[in-house]
Amino acid sequence: MAKPPFLPFLLFVASALLSTSCSAAPRKIVAFYELKKGDFSVKVTNWGAIITSVVLPDSKGNLGDVVLGYDGLGPYINNSAHFGAVVGRVANRISGARFVLNGKAYRLSKNSGNNTLHGGHRGFSHVIWTVKEKVDGEFPYITLYYHSFDGDQGFPGALDVFVTYKISAPYELSIAMHAKSLNKATPVNLAQHSYWNLGGHGSGTILSNTVQIFASKITPVDANLIPIGTIVPVSGTPYDFLKPTTVGSLIDKLSSGYDINYVLDQPIGSNGMRKVAVVKDGYGSGRAFELWANQPGVQFYTGNFLNNVKGKGGHIYGKHAGLCLETQGFPDSVNHPNFPSQIVNPGEDYKHNMLFKFSF
What does the alpha-carbon distance between residue 77 and residue 239 come to, in Å, rounded to a whole number? 34
What does the alpha-carbon distance between residue 117 and residue 75 come to, in Å, rounded to a whole number? 20
Specify the DSSP element, H or E, that contains 55.
Answer: strand 50-57
With b for 16 or more beta-carbon neighbours within 10 A and e for fewer, the 126-140 pattern comes to bbbbebeeeeeeeeb
Catalytic center residues: 193, 326
Asked whether residue 46 is marked as a ligand-binding residue, the answer is no
Which stretches of the chain are DSSP H helices?
A: 7-18, 74-78
**DSSP letter string, 189-230:** B-EEEPPB-TT-TTS--STT-EEEE-EEEEE-B-TTS-B-S-
Asked whether residue 332 is marked as a ligand-binding residue, the answer is no
Please give the torsion angle defined by the CA atoms of residues 136, 140, 142 and 143, in that order, rounded to the nearest 10 degrees: -110
What does the alpha-carbon distance between residue 196 and residue 358 come to, in Å, rounded to a whole number? 12
Question: Which residues are paired to 94 by β-bridges?
Answer: 116
Task: Return the closest-CA partner of residue 312 out of 54, 69, 76.
Answer: 69
CB 116 within 8 A of CB 94: yes
Asked whether residue 259 is marked as a ligand-binding residue, the answer is yes
With b for 16 or more beta-carbon neighbours within 10 A and e for fewer, the 47-81 pattern comes to bbbbbbbbbbbbeeeeebbbbbbbeebebbeebeb
Write the CB contacts of 283 (distance below 8 Å, at least 6 apart in sequence). Answer: 198, 199, 200, 203, 204, 208
CB 85 within 8 A of CB 122: no
Asked whether residue 122 is marked as a ligand-binding residue, the answer is no
Which stretches of 110-210 are DSSP H helices?
A: none
Known binding-site residues for beta-D-galactose equal: 92-93, 193-195, 259
Known binding-site residues equal: 92-93, 193-195, 259
